[in-house]
Amino acid sequence: MATQASAANLNYECSEAEWKARQDLAVCYRIFDHMGWSESIYNHISLKVPDEENTFLINPFGMLYDEVTASNLVKIDVDGNNVGGSPYMVNKAGFTQHAYFHKHLGANADAICHVHTTATMAVCSHKDGLVPTNFYACNFQNQIGYHDFEGVTVREEEGERLVRNLGNHSILMLRNHGPVVMDSTIQGMFVKMWALQRACEIQVATLSQGEANVVPQEVVDVHQRDLAVMQGQGGAGMFDFEAWKRRVTKIDDSWQN
Radius of gyration of the chain (CA): 18
Q: How far is CA 149 from the centre of its chain?
A: 19
Alpha-carbon gap, residue 151 to 159, rounded angstroms: 13
Q: For the chain, give the percent of residues with pLDDT over 70.
A: 93
Alpha-carbon gap, residue 153 to 149, rounded angstroms: 9
| Burial group, residue 87, by CB count within 10 angstroms (0-12, 13-18, 19+) | exposed
- Could you tell me if 26 and 12 are in contact, meaning their C-beta atoms sit under 8 angstroms apart? no
Q: How far is CA 81 from the centre of its chain?
A: 21
pLDDT at 57 over 50: yes
Band (251; pLDDT cuts 50, 70, 90) = very high
Alpha-carbon gap, residue 223 to 136, rounded angstroms: 10
pTM for the full predicted model: 0.92
As a whole number, the mean pLDDT across the chain is 90
How high is the pLDDT of residue 4? 46
How many distinct helices (H) and strands (E) make up the chain?
A: 9, 7
Mean pLDDT, residues 74-84 taken together: 85
* Contacting residues for 178 by C-beta, under 8 A, at least 6 apart: 43, 114, 115, 116, 117, 120, 121, 124
